Structure 1
C-alpha cells in the first residue's frame, strides 16, 4: 500500500512497504529538468546533478563513494527533460545512513570552484561521447531542429559554450529557484523499518524556500524539418518524428498500445517488416516521449548508406499501412497482454517501485494500483488505436539523418 506524508514545508514523502525483501530504495525527485532552464543555463540541471556528488562540508567525493561501498549499497542520479532524481539502494538496516548521506549531499554540497573546473571536463567528455555515437546524436539533432528555440529541444547535457560559463553563483541561483520543497518528492520502497519515515521528515521537512518555485512552460509545436548531417560513420541513421500526446491525455494508453504494435517490440510491424522480412536494419524501433503538455512519437532505423533510401521508403510504407489498413483485433489483444506483463515484471525490484511512485507523485499527484492500470489498458479498443494512428501520422513529420556520405534520397 502506498502512503503519503506532506511535510509542513510542502515536501512530499511517498512510501511503499514491501516487508518480504531486505532492501530499501530511496529517491529524491526534483521537478527540475532541462526544459526549465534559461538559454544561458542549458545543461546546468545536469551539471548540478554531477556536482552533488563532489563533496560536502563533512564528506569528500571519495568519502561519499566509500561510505556506500562500505555498506554494500548503490547510489546514482539522472537528469531528464522535466526532472532530476538522486537515488540509493541499500540493505534495510543501512537505510538511515544512506538517507543521511543523500540529505548531506542535497543540503551541504560545497560546489568548490576547483571541483567545478574538474567536473566541467568530465561533462565535456560525456558530451563528446554522445557526439561520437551516431545512433544517439541523430536523436539530439532531431530534437534540436524540430523544437527549435524551445528548451525542450536543447540537449540535457548542454553545450561546450554553456558548460564553460557555469559558476557556483549560477548553481546556487538555479537551486534557489527550482530545488524548493514544493518541487521535491522523496520516494521510498522496500522493507521500511520503524521510525524511518519520521527520520526522513526530520531531515527534509524543515527547509524553506528562498524563492517561490518557478514553473513556466512554453508548449512547442513540432516543426516538420528535414536535416542531414555527414559524419565518419559506417552506417546511416534516420529518425522520423510525429506529434504525440502529453502524459495526462485521455487516450495515452491507446498511444502506448499503438507504439508497441508499430515498433515497440520484436513482434512489431517495423521489426518484422523491415528487419525480419527485408533484412534492411539491425536496429529498428519506435518510441513515444510524453511530457506535461506535449509529446512526440519517433521512429529510428540504422542501415548502410546504400540502403538508406529503401529503409526510409519501407518505414513510410509501414506507417501508410497503419493509417490505411489499421490493425487486427489479435494485434491489439497481444499488445495489451504484453504491456500488462511488462508492467508487472518491471516492478519486481524496490528500485522500480521507488521510481514508479516518485514519478507518479511528481507528474500526476496521484497513485493508481496495478489492477487499475491493467483495467485501463484493457479498455483500449481497436477503434481508439486506429483513430489515433490516423490523427498522429496525418501530420508532416520531422526527419533527421546522419550518413557517412551523400546519397540520393
Structure 2
C-alpha cells in the first residue's frame, strides 16, 4: 500500500505482520514480541550496532511494536535515504540470524521489560483488565509474555513460529511520503520472496466474560479499570463508538474528566478508550486515586457510565465530537508516519480503504439516535473490573453497577 505526498521530504515505511499475542498458544505467550526484539539483534551481514548506526548515520528513525493481533517494523527517513531504509529493513526481515547468545541476552532484556510493567501500576491494572475481560482466551494474555514462557523459548521454536505467521497473506508493506516509483519496484521485488502460507489461519475465538481481578502492590494510589463490551475491528458502527467514547472520557471536555477530576477533584488521570479486535472489542474506563477515595471514585465512574447508558449523549456532545474527530483525522494526514500506519492497518485488518471525503461524509451523517442506541446496548451489563492497590484484598463494597 503506497500513498504519495510530494509536499514533504520524508518517507515512512512499515512492514506489518498479522500476528500478535492473540495468535500464540499459551506456551508461546510473548513469542511475537520477542521476535520483534530479535529482528534488531543482527543479520548475516549486519551486527546489532550496524543496524542502529545505519539509521543514525542518515538521521532516520527505526522502531517496532507488537500488539494483540499484529506486529509492525517501521522507519522514517529523508526521501533521499529511502533505499537505505528499505535495504536495512528487508535485511532484518529476511536475514536475521537469531544467534543463540543474542537470544539468551535478549531474554534478560525482555524480562526487565516485564518487571517494568509490574513496577508500573497504571500499566499493570490494564494487563489485569484483559484477564478480567477475556477469560481463558489468548486475547487475555500479556503481549510481553511471562517469565516462564520467555525462559522456555528456543531458536527452533522462534523459527517455527515465523514459518507459520511471517508469510505472504499475513504481511503488508505500507509506504507514505515523498518517494520515487523505483522504491515501490524495489519493495515489490524484495517482498515477493515472502513465502506463501502453508495453511489458512484463524485467530482463536474470544468472548467477553467479565470478572474482577485484584493485585496488591506497594503504591501510592489505587488504580481502577472498568471494561464493557465494545465493537470488532471494521464494524460499521466504529465512528459511532469513537464519538461515544470521546464524550465519555476521550477528551478534556468529556464527562469523566470534567466531573471526576475538575468538579470532584478525585484524581489526576481519568480517561476512557476503546479497543477493537477481530470479532470482539472492549471499552475501558480508567482512573487512579488515593486508597481512601477508591469507593467514591468507583461510584462516580459507574454513575457516569450508567447515565450515558440510560440517557445517551446530548446534541452538543455529538456535534463537538464530530468536529474533534474530523480534526483528528485531517491533522493526522499531515504526518507521513500517521498515513503509513493508517494505510497499513487498514490493508492488514480490513482489506479496504476509504477516501477522506468518504470518511467525513460518514461522520457528518451519524445521528444522535445511532450513538445513543449504541450506548444503551454496550453499557447495559456488569463490567469487568481490575484494581491495583496497597490493600491486600478487594474492597467488599466496591460499586460497579
TM-score, reference length from structure 2: 0.96
5 Å matches for 1:5-404?
14-209=1-196, 211-404=197-390
Number of matched pairs: 395
Distance between the aligned counterparts of 1:256 and 1:23, measured in 2?
30
- Residues 293-312 of structure 1: per-residue CA shift (max 9 Å, x gap): 11000100100000000000
How far is 1:213 from its partner? 4.8
Distance between the aligned counterparts of 1:201 and 1:183, measured in 2?
15
How far is 1:178 from its partner? 0.3
How far is 1:346 from its partner? 2.0
- Residues 318-339 of structure 1: per-residue CA shift (max 9 Å, x gap): 1121122222111100111111
Distance between the aligned counterparts of 2:105 and 2:37, measured in 1?
11
Distance between the aligned counterparts of 2:336 and 2:238, measured in 1?
26
- Residues 241-285 of structure 1: per-residue CA shift (max 9 Å, x gap): 111111122212111110010000000010011111100111111
Distance between the aligned counterparts of 1:351 and 1:217, measured in 2?
28
Distance between the aligned counterparts of 1:214 and 1:121, measured in 2?
34
Distance between the aligned counterparts of 1:297 and 1:153, measured in 2?
15
Distance between the aligned counterparts of 2:21 and 2:331, measured in 1?
30
- Residues 26-60 of structure 1: per-residue CA shift (max 9 Å, x gap): 00011111101111110000000000000000000
Distance between the aligned counterparts of 1:221 and 1:206, measured in 2?
37
Equivalent residue, structure 2, for 1:5: none
Q: Do 2:129 and 2:384's aligned partners in 1 also have CA atoms closer than 8 Å?
A: yes
TM-score, reference length from structure 1: 0.95
Q: Which runs of 5+ in 2 are unaligned?
A: none
- Residues 142-194 of structure 1: per-residue CA shift (max 9 Å, x gap): 11232121110000000000000111101110011000011111000111113
Report the RMSD for the aligned CA atoms in angstroms.
1.1
In structure 2, the residue corresponding to 1:76 is in which secondary structure? strand
Q: Do 2:23 and 2:204's aligned partners in 1 also have CA atoms closer than 8 Å?
A: no
